[in-house]
Structures are given as C-alpha cells and as structure tokens.
Structure 1
Amino acid sequence: MNIVVQEVQKGTGALKVMVKDSIDIQGMKTMSGSKALMKTEVAVENAVVVDRILAADCQITAKTNLHELAFGITGINHTFGTAINPNYPALIPGGSSSGSAAAVAAGLADFTLGTDTGGSIRMPAACCGVYGLKPTFNRVGRKGVHPAQSSLDCVGPFAASVEMIETAMQIIDASFQPQAELTQPPQLALLEVQADPVVAHCIEQYLAQTHLNPTLVTSKWLEQAFHAAMQIINFENWQAYGVLTETGLLGTDVNQRLLKAANTTWAEVEQANQVKVSFSAEIESLLDQYDALVLPTLPQIPPKVEEAANTVAFLNLTGLVRPFNLSGHPALSIPLETAEGLPVGLQIVGKLGSDEHLCAIAKYIIKTTQ
C-alpha cells in the first residue's frame, strides 16, 4: 500500500507503533522519503520519542512513508510510492505524514507518529479519516527528528480514537496526564473562516448535534499568520535541505519549492516573527474567554490524487492548520464525513500547554454526538 518504507522489529509489547521516516531509529537510515538521502549513514541512536516508545514496551513494526523531506501537503511521493488513502482511495492521503495517517486508517498500528510543521499531522488525519494531534510546540522532544532545527515543528500521534491519542501522548511525553472526564459543558468559540459550503455545512451539522452552541468569533491575524508560517518554514527548510537541490535527485515539486524558498530573506522572517507575536496573543486572548476554538481542519474536500501533482497549487489547503504552528497552540483533528461520504476534519485548538484539557474537550464533544 506504499505506507511502509522500512520494516522494523523493535520491542515485543502489546501496542503496535509505526514511526514516520523523518524520525531516527538506531541502525536504520532516515531517508525522509527522498532519493537524495538514500545513501545517508544509519542513525547511531534513537530519537528521544523512539526510546520512550520502546521503554513503554511497545512494538515498533515499521517506518512510514511521507511527502519528500516532509516538505509537501499532498503525500504524493514518486520515489517510494504514494500511500493509498485506505478509506478514500481516490483522494490524496495528505502530507507530509501520509504513511502514518494511512497506517492507522488501515488498522496496521495502534498509533503512529508524525511530525507537523505546517499541518502535517492534522491534514493527513482529516484526509484519511483518523484522529491526529499536534501538541503544544516544544512539549514533545524533537531530538533525533529531521530537520534538526525548526521553529514550528512538533512530533505527535495519529490514532483511531482520542483515548489512544492520550495513551500515545503519555508514552512520548512524560508530563502528559489524561484529564478526568468533563462534568460541565466546555465553552466553545467557532472561528469564522473561509471554507467550501460542503465543509462548512458538515461542521455546522456536527456542532448542532452537540448542543454546545459555540460563539462565533473572528481573527484579524489568521491569514497573515498563514503567510508568516510559510516564510519561516521556507527559510528554515532551505537552510536544512538547500544543498540537496544540487544532487539532481529530488522530486520536481520539492526541488522547485526549495529553490523558491531560497529567496526568503531574514527580513521576511523577522516580519513573520512579529506576526507570530500578534497572532499568538490574539488566540491566547480568545482562549482566556473560551475553553477551545473550533474550525474546519481543511477548507475543502481533499483533492483526488490524479489532480494533485502540483503541490504548490494546493498550499492553501493548509490555510486553517498552518497558523497554529506559528502560534504553537495544541490542535486536534476529529474525523467527520459528509452526507456523500467524503472526509472532513473538525479542528479543535486549545490553550498553550493544555493538551490534556484539549483531549478531554474532544472526548466530550464526541460523546454528545453518539
């Protein structure tokens, strides 16, 4: 199914886990879905999250495929193959953590790990119809994760339930302690955004079932935060991977994105960081008034694989997820489905550091609709 890029046998525990191939496993190459890295040396030690998984007596069974260099949103990979979206085979699996989302959707693992620099957990979760959590920035250790330096990237889990997301978080983050079931309804704010009518209708219908009556709120900085996050990831990925454009081994889409990223200036990054301060403050102010923000994960139904060869043409698909990489807030995608059987994600955003409360809110929302 092009989900697995390398088979692994580590640990013998009850929980089966797969790990994105941008995360080091000792004795194995970390190729990040790229032919340009196929001759790299094997990792000399495990990433910190891998050590934690093994310490919890889980069984790591495979490394999963991804959009090349984790620098794309469709999940299409012409070198190692594109992971098939198990629930929606005609549609993209989403990137960059395509194989990790697809593996959970296919029932191949109890949970998987992905990374999220600009929506790369939440987007494939929404595409494949599974749960995906981007934790608070810096909450989960990134040692042994590629690229080594990132102002936006987070390691986080995919699973088939919020309960398994919580289990995964307890394993990879020693400070994570699941919160008791909520006894009072959370106060939600519905962030007003631009989304296709079919997506907006699906979200509205689902929220109506909860009877939580979220308050409609707006963001002055959301669109600017999207562009600011793009500037930062472009600048940092050029620093990390620009040299690979000289190898002639990169896929066309990623090679072109990197060459364009080379034009990003430090002045643009500084301006982006100013937007970060303003947007983060705006979201924190809203979360001082409400328990969580809700909005679509993606602004439209994921495109078909055959339509998505040009990654750049679909970058706006990350318009509602990427801003929260800039602000660092934890965000969880809940899988929904339209009346026509197409995937939609409901994104829930929580207060910085309150990942446990975010999961508790998600479980409360789900329970009210069952």
Structure 2
Amino acid sequence: MRTARILALAAVGTLTGALAACSGDKTDDAAAAGGPISVKATDTACEVGRTTLGAGTTHFKITNSGAKVTEFYVYAAGDRVMGEVENITPGLSRELRVELPAGTYEAACKPGMVGQGVRTALTVSGSASPLTEDAALAAASADYSRYVQSQATTLVDKTTEFAAAVKASDVAKAKALYPVARTYYERIEPVAETFGDLDPKVDGREDGATKELPFTGFHKLEKDLWITGDVSKDGAIADQLDADIRAVAAKAQTEKLSPLQLANGAKELLDEVANGKITGEEDRYSHTDLWDFAANVEGSKAAVAALRPALEKRDPQLVKSIDGGFAKVDAELAKHRAGDGWKLHNQLSEAELKGLSDAINALAEPISKIAGVISAK
C-alpha cells in the first residue's frame, strides 16, 4: 500500500484535490531541449514544467522541494493510474516514463503520500506509434497479462477461503490463510493500484483512512485477528474484501498493460519492499512482512522475465546485472525461511534487516534503467 510507509515520516497532512497554479501553455526548457519535463513538488504545490504534451512516451523528472515525503501520479479518467513514483524524500529527485495516447489526464503530487493530492491538468494531442509495435515488447505485454490473470484467479480463491474463516470466527485458520492470500495480491499490486479506489479499499492502512475510504480490507482484519483476537463482528468487512478482490480480478482479466507499465511496475514492487516490508510497517500487527517481501520480488521477476527478450536485444549487460541482483536478493531472503513460509519480521535482527535492505537497494538500481532502455527509439 502506498500510504504512510516510511518510519521517519512522523506526521503527514491531508491535501485536497486543488489544482496547482500552472497555465496550460507553460513550457519547460529542459523538455524543449529533449530532456525530461520538470516537476517541482512542494508541500502545497505541484508545478509541472509542461502541461500540453505530444502523444507517446513522456519523461518526467520530479524534484521534492518540500518537507514531506511525496508521490507523483499521472491519472487518466476515473483516477486510473497511468504511471506513478512513490516515496520521493525531501531534497531528492525521481524520474518517470509513461506512455500516453491523446486525451486528457491529471498529474498529481501527494505530499505526505495521502489524500487526493495537488493536481494539474495535462492535455495530450497528436499520435505516436505505440511501443507494442515492437514485436518483442508486444509479446512482453501479452505474456505478463497472462501472468497477472493467473495470479488474480488464485487470489480470488485464497481470499474467499480467508474470508470464510473470518466469518466462521476461526481465528487460527484465518491467521494461517492471511499471508498466503496476500501473496497473490502483492505479486500484482502495481496492476491493482491502477484500478482507482480498489487498492486502498483492499490494502489501506488505518493511518491512511479517510471518511470516503475508511479502514477496511486485509489490514483491518489483520488488526482484529492479531490484536483483539475477535472477528465476530467482521463478517461485512470480510464480504467486502471478497467482493473487492473479485472486482480486481475481473478488471485484471481484460487489462492491457503497456511495456512501460511492466518496467515501472518491476521497480514499484522493489520500492514496496524497501519502504514497507523492510521497515515492518506493512503487516505491523501480524509481522508477516516477509511473505509480502517475497511476493513483491516474485512479481518484479515476472515483469522482467516478460521483458527479457527485448532487453537482451537492447542491453544484454543490463540483463546480466539484473539477474545478479535477483540472485543476491534470493540468497539473502533464503536465510529467513521457516518451514513453508518465513520468519516473522520481529524475529529478525537489525543486521539481518540491513542485509535484506542492501540487496534490494542494489537490485533497484539496474531495474530503474529498464524504462529508459525499452522506450528508447
């Protein structure tokens, strides 16, 4: 989940969806010269260097000049996520490449990583050859879509089992099923996050809840299972989680993902690990974070595997670097196996957590280059 995931973030404010003060014809010197479009994010504004764009791949460079950790999103109608960058800490810059056909969109900066964010309208016109005109990239999108569909199907089955155990007040069984069901969600979370409010309903945290999106889903049930041990009143929440997961799965069956969404998703999953699982924030009540950690890594691997033929043709050295990074992550993670699952987060020492963190950060560096490689003409 993308809200409140960094331990150093002590207090965050909620922003309304007010539009940033950017004129529609604003230009950006770097973008005009062929560089990325600059985005200056502060705690109150989201200044996008250019808001009238040509169809095709758009490259943004987001600099956080505020005091709060922020995120940057590009939304289509209905808040469908076309691309995102999370956990941009104060003083740092991150980049995002996103493929946009002609239409109207919104860019959003989210100081504190909560709320609707400060939004700026974007207009995209003209036409451009899609990246999927490359046969290898078209095959990558098709292959990964099949992976998402298979994971979504099993996600429905496991979530239904979990919800049934909750409704039966079988606490022991529900606890055993909780991390297993989440595994299938965590593998495809970047896809689920594109579907508007479904992700916060399924995976939202208590400190990110709003009047419009109250605390429900997996983590509400997690809290009741591990903290109070009483789920006798959670039948409606279990039913809603089951329904929301079925909605995610239904959308996943028809979702057409662009090659850049695969590339960005592979990186987002590693960001999930670095900023939620390593810290123990994600599953703070059950401490089953390593199940999510492993699932995020597996999902990233699947996206890279789909893109492999195109990457091997364009940058074989990058592929070797990525393979080496995954091998090191797998070796570090394997140290914490416990039967068919994993050790609890609170059973790991600071040194062990640092080993996992170092391996993920090292892998994230070559993974971050994939989008630039596949979008290059």
| Band of TM-score, shorter chain | under 0.3
TM-score by length of structure 2 reads 0.27
Q: Flag the structure with larger Rg.
A: 2
